[in-house]
Amino acid sequence: MADADIAQSPPQPTSNTGPEKSSSLLFEWMIARRYISATKNGAGVSLISIIAFVGILLAVAVLIIVMSVMQGFRTKLLDQLLGVNGHVFVESNSAEPLNNYQLLADELRTIPGVTSSVPIIQSPVAMIAGEQQTAGVVFGINPDDLRAIELIAGEEHLIEGTLQDFGEGRKGGNKVAIGVGLARSLGVRTGDPVTLVTAGGTETPMGTAPVRNKTYEVGAVYRIGNSEYDGYFVYMPLEQAQVFFKRGTAVDKIEVRVSDPTKAVDFERSIAVAAGDQTFTYNWQDVHQSYFNALQTERGLMRIILSLIIAIAALNIISGLVMLVKDKRGDIAVMRTVGATQGAVMRIFCISGSLIGVAGSIIGVILGVLISLNVSAIEKFLSNLRGSPIFASDIYLFDEMPAQVQLGEVAFVAIFALGVSFLAALYPAWRAAQLDPVEALRYE
């Protein structure tokens, strides 16, 4: 009776869970890995897989490098701009210069968030040293304010001379600080004389002289690392600048520095109220925003263009998988005959395509980050090898190629490459899953 009950009991359904499911997934991974490494008819598919892998790798690496260099360029330019110049500027709204600048500067310092207010005289000049001459821009500034600018007075930036005696002497003395590019153009070093020439000379019985000039001593040479600042800027004691440019007791403007330059617009409102109706204010974004917007637009377009290169590289995955499916028709039919589902076949070929993308993306990310972190050293090595600079400072502003790796940018590139690789594998995998085993085995 017991035997009859057992015989009449229906078979219990089995679930594809636990060890069986793990074994199935392991089998699919093993087959997928073998499929992208070799074929029974030759190495054609494997070669296409290698090409697809290298294409993804190089596209990912190039995108990371280019984005890092562009971000480094923007960050370094912004740091130098905000480190040397003011963040909010106060000028007279009439033809008269700022005569009460000291009281106004003291009042602006009391505004919460304002770190300094620096009276400035700014004027273009011609500079002559021996037989060399060039153009420059003079900034008249209080000695303490100049010594507070780290990009000029810092140990790694002040390469010759000293600023300790800057401003000493009658009417501010006769010493000036110049950039290393300007010193190189004039062929001067600290202690050498340099003559400054500006428009509007002294009154004479024959009328006003067209120009006036005075010889100064180079007291310090600095290097900011920006060809514009190093090649044109001259710093003169404010009191001496008032005499040389005939400003009397006035200045041209007050440069206000704030704790957060990115919020200069918000600080400008408070500064404008404190400065009064006789002045007008503007901030660094008003002067340079169009330039930084152009950089941001160029960066966005470059990201799109290089992302398309990743997509093009992923097309090789489609070509390789299509050929692989054609080459493995018999294997697919056998697997389907012995019980493999359409889902299992599709997963095998999805894994095959995705493995190429994963491997290419990982190695591309590593390569791109390593090159970005060492791009300056690589640029110098290639320049020495070539015998001429690849990254010319007179063209690209900086004396070395900047780069800044952003984790968010790296993550975006990696995720995009992985997503494109997976999408590229879907259609060939779906075609493999739809293959009719009977038709496939007919010609085997």
Per residue in 244-303, pLDDT (tens digit) is 998 888 999 999 999 999 888 899 999 999 988 888 999 998 888 777 788 788 888 888
Residue that is last in its domain, among 248, 277, 306: 277
Q: Which domain holds residue 335?
A: 18-76+292-442
- Give the per-residue pLDDT at 382: 84
151 neighbors 157 (Cβ within 8 angstroms): yes
pLDDT band at 12 (very low <50, low <70, confident <90, very high): very low
Beta-bridged to residue 128, according to DSSP, are 133, 195
Reported confidence tier of residue 95, pLDDT bands at 50, 70, 90: confident
CB 264 within 8 A of CB 283: yes
Q: How confident is the model at residue 362 (pLDDT cuts 50, 70, 90)?
A: very high
In a domain, 90, yes or no: no
Most confident listed range (20-29, 57-66, 306-315, 319-328): 57-66
In this structure, the answer to whether residues 108 and 255 fall within a common structural domain is: yes
In a domain, 386, yes or no: yes
On whether both 130 and 206 belong to a single domain, the answer is: yes
51 and 165, same domain (yes or no): no
Look at residue 189 in the predicted model and tell me its pLDDT.
Answer: 93
Q: What is the CA radius of gyration of the chain?
A: 35
30 versus 414: the higher-pLDDT residue is 414
Is residue 88, in this structure, part of any structural domain at all? Answer: no
Reply yes or no on whether the pLDDT at 158 is more than 70. Answer: yes
For 188-199, the pLDDT digits (tens) are 999 999 999 988
Claim to verify: residue 204 and residue 124 sit in the same structural domain: yes
In a domain, 13, yes or no: no
pLDDT at 24 over 70: no
**Model confidence at 345, in pLDDT bands (50, 70, 90)?**
confident
The pair phi, psi for residue 311, each rounded to 5°, is -65, -40
Q: Do 419 and 296 fall into the same domain?
A: yes
> Does residue 334 share a domain with residue 227?
no
Give 207 or 221, the one with higher predicted confidence. 221
Q: How confident is the model at residue 333 (pLDDT cuts 50, 70, 90)?
A: confident
98-154: pLDDT as tens digits? 888 999 999 999 999 999 999 999 999 999 998 899 999 999 999 999 999 999 999
Collapsing DSSP to helix, strand or coil, 120 comes out as: strand
109 and 229: one domain? yes
Do residue 159 and residue 202 come from a single domain? yes
State mean pLDDT over 335-351.
80
pLDDT of residue 204 exceeding 60: no
Q: Which element (helix H / strand E) includes 114?
A: strand 114-129
Residue 54 in any domain: the answer is yes
Q: How many domains does the chain have?
A: 2
* Closest to 371 measured CA to CA, from 322, 327, 337, 405: 405
